[in-house]
């Protein structure tokens, strides 16, 4: 299967640079996964398409302020560090800039205390490809407090504007820190709108998948089958497992908010193979593309994604490649906003 089959032309001006003032004021393109029929709505109209008994699955991960700007200890040259994944303790998988000048053994310093000592230091232990590094942090105090003080939000490279309010790159239900990027389909919700959905009889089911940057990168291989996904950590609580089991038993729909929730749901669907879902956690590198048979997800709320990305392929697996590309062309024609701060699409079933 060719990656080029999921390419399309996207005008740069449609890439949303800033979030809307009101989270729920975005547009919503509704796509019927069977017929391909489309409707142009606003986000709060989602309530009309959700039914009593539906279970809305929300990824409650919280984005770390994971981009650090500092200097090389030996030369004072500027250095940038992006945290991707905690390995254990104070050891992390990261990306560094400039990659060619930051080699194994290098020490990077971030921030200064009153006595001019660095607040946080990173020692490069191992080198990988394309700027990937394994580093170990040294510091005094509490790491997360230092990160909140020194770090910036790791906005995707296609967003050039600086974010004035960090919380606009967090969902209102974010709880568990650990992501390098936001599960952006959830950025449209407010607590008030979620309460309205619950009053209608929609159940809210939190799960966790800590999002890595690999999820959002265009596929570099020519063939989809050659692409390898980066592993991401997920967790499902006992309460959420019960909600999912109840939904399956009652015939209610499981509606995933975002591709990250979809990947987590399908991972546990494969893990338990038709048996009742249990509380669990682990790592997943599941890659969903057309031909995949969904075990858990019945409907999907998602944003509009990058050409040639694994996210477009996942959406196409649920609604069909032709339907999805037709919807994307319709969205472009009608000047929908794309990517992290953009508009939403609901794949109805």
Determine the average pLDDT of the residues in 159-165: 85
- CB of 108 within 8 A of CB of 72? yes
**Residues belonging to the chain:** 349
Q: For residue 215, what pLDDT is reported?
A: 60
| Region 3-63+164-348: CATH code | 3.40.1780.10
- When pLDDT is averaged across residues 19-29 and rounded to a whole number, the result is 97
- Residue 217 pLDDT exceeds 70: no
| Sequence ranges of the domains in the chain | 3-63+164-348, 67-152
Instruction: Give residue 185's Cα distance to chain centre.
Output: 8
- Please state the φ and ψ torsions of residue 93, each to the nearest 5 degrees: -85, 135
Percent of the chain at pLDDT exceeding 90: 85
Q: How far is CA 211 from the centre of its chain?
A: 5
- 174 — phi, psi (to 5°)? -65, 135
Using one digit for the tens of pLDDT, what is the confidence trace for 224-264? 988 888 889 999 999 999 999 999 999 999 999 999 999 99
CATH 3.30.420.10 fits 67-152, yes or no: no
> Is pLDDT at 120 greater than 60 in this prediction?
yes
Q: Give the tens place of pLDDT for each residue, 54-97.
A: 999 999 999 999 999 999 999 999 999 999 888 999 999 999 99
Give pLDDT, residue 155: 86
């Amino acid at each position: 299967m060719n990656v080029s089959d999921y390419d399309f032309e996207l005008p740069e001006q449609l890439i949303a640079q800033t979030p809307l003032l009101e989270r729920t004021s975005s547009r919503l393109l509704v796509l019927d996964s069977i017929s391909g029929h489309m409707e142009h709505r606003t986000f709060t109209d989602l309530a009309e398409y959700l039914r009593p008994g539906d279970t809305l699955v929300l990824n409650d991960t919280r984005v770390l302020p994971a981009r650090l700007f500092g200097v090389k200890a030996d030369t004072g040259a500027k250095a940038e560090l992006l945290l991707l994944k905690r390995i254990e303790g104070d050891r992390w998988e990261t990306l560094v800039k400039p990659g060619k000048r930051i080699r194994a053994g290098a020490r990077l310093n971030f921030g200064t205390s009153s006595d001019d000592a660095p607040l946080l230091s990173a020692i490069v232990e191992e080198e990988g490809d394309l700027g990937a590094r394994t580093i170990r942090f040294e510091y005094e105090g509490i790491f997360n407090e230092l990160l909140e003080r020194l770090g910036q939000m790791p906005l995707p490279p296609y967003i050039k504007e600086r974010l004035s309010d960090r919380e606009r790159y967090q969902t209102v239900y974010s709880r568990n820190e650990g992501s390098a990027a936001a599960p952006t389909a959830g950025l449209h919700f407010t607590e008030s709108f979620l309460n309205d959905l619950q009053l209608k009889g929609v159940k809210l089911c939190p799960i966790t998948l800590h999002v890595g940057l690999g999820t959002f990168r265009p596929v570099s291989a020519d063939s989809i089958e050659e692409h390898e996904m980066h592993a991401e950590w997920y967790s499902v609580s006992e309460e959420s497992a019960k909600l999912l089991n109840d939904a399956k038993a009652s015939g209610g729909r499981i509606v995933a908010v975002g591709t990250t929730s979809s990947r987590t749901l399908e991972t546990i669907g494969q893990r338990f193979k038709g048996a009742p879902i249990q509380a669990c956690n682990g790592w997943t590198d599941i890659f969903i593309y057309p031909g995949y048979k969904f075990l858990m997800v019945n409907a999907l709320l998602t944003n509009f994604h990058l050409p040639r990305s694994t996210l477009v392929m996942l959406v196409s697996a649920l609604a069909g490649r032709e339907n999805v590309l037709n919807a994307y062309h319709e969205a472009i024609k009608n000047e929908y906003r794309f990517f992290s701060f953009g508009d939403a699409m609901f794949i109805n079933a």
